[in-house]
Amino acid sequence: MDWIKAVSKSIDFIEDNLTEDISIKDIAKIACISPFYYQRMFSVLTNMSVHSYIRNRRLTLAAMELQNTDIKIIDLAMKYGYDSPEAFSRAFKKAHGVNPSVLRKENTAIKAFMKLTIQVTLKGELPMKYSIETKPAFSFYGMTRTVSTIDEANFRDIPLFWQETMNDGTFMKMIEATGTEKSIGACMPMDPDKDTEFDYVIGGFCDKEIGDYDNYNVPEHKWAVFQVNGPVMKVLQDTWRRIFAEWFPQTGYKHAAEPELEVYFPGDVNSEDYYMEIWIPIE
């Protein structure tokens, strides 16, 4: 329940500061977890980014003020962090379907994004298969792409990244560089000073530095290794959701500042018998 309280406090912090400049670093500090882990947890559990939630809440409160007060639109734009009435109007129309001036005149319906609440539910789902392992230091290599978390761009850009490397042959060329049978997708730890983006790597394990690719070294560390069985597109996202929604809150482990790895083994990724692993760094 400490985890539930911590996340609830962070949401309260967001609500109390919607008219202020707040960063993911500030919010994560309230929850006593890293900015990277906070954003990963938030997006997996809510299907939206922290930035999207903040924007939607601000635009909801702005719409309510338009309906119930005489505040000027330019003052409302400045209050909720927009540089100009034009930028505010564009965001407002995208969220509510009408311009602020039209809403004030016609009092049309708005889309209200309400404050998030944290609830605990009991479910009889299948058990999660995992082990806690201390793995020696290892290295991996690959192609790196910086992805944004704003407007959930990472959920679109990472699958596109995989599709591009598969279609143009660069993925097979890369794997052949070491002869390894396993490939990986790695979410690199987020720079606290760049809380709207992180690096994603498509690659493989290696024993030595591989030229023409980015090379990464990971120190000896403790990992939660989750077994994932079934078609990747069908089971992978559900496993991620359960890790953040069920496993972390109930075990008391914390996310460590090392890469998250999806480890893909040889086989048909669309098969019901396909096997892969998710490695989560813990402390």
Residues 230 and 90 reside in one and the same domain: no
Inside any domain, residue 120 = no
**E strands in 170-232:** 183-187, 197-206, 214-218, 221-229
Residues 86 and 220 reside in one and the same domain: no
Q: Which of 74, 106, 138 is the last residue of a domain?
A: 106
Q: Which of 46, 74, 106 is the last residue of a domain?
A: 106
Q: Which of 106, 121, 140 is the last residue of a domain?
A: 106
State the pLDDT at residue 121: 59
Inside any domain, residue 272 = yes
Q: Which domain holds residue 90?
A: 2-106
Residues 139 and 270 reside in one and the same domain: yes
CATH of residue 49's domain is 1.10.10.60
Residues 6+ apart with CB under 8 A from 150: 49, 51, 52, 196
Residues 173 and 228 reside in one and the same domain: yes
pLDDT, tens only, 37-86:
888 888 777 778 888 899 999 999 999 998 888 899 999 999 999 999 89
SS3 71: coil
Q: What is the DSSP letter of 231?
A: -
Residues 146 and 271 reside in one and the same domain: yes
State the pLDDT at residue 68: 86
Residues 275 and 169 reside in one and the same domain: yes
Neighbouring CB atoms inside 10 A of 217's CB total 9
Sequential pLDDT tens for the chain (283 residues): 467 788 889 999 999 999 999 988 899 899 888 887 888 888 777 778 888 899 999 999 999 998 888 899 999 999 999 999 899 999 999 888 888 888 888 777 778 888 887 766 555 566 789 999 999 999 999 999 998 877 778 878 988 999 999 999 999 888 887 777 889 999 998 776 666 788 999 999 988 888 889 999 999 999 999 999 999 988 988 888 888 878 888 887 888 889 999 999 999 999 999 999 999 999 8
CA distance 123 to 246: 10
Residues 272 and 143 reside in one and the same domain: yes
Inside any domain, residue 118 = no
Inside any domain, residue 115 = no
Inside any domain, residue 155 = yes
User: Helix 35-46 crosses helix 50-68 at what angle (to 10 degrees)?
Assistant: 70
CA distance 79 to 97: 21
Q: Based on the structure, what is the number of domains in the chain?
A: 2
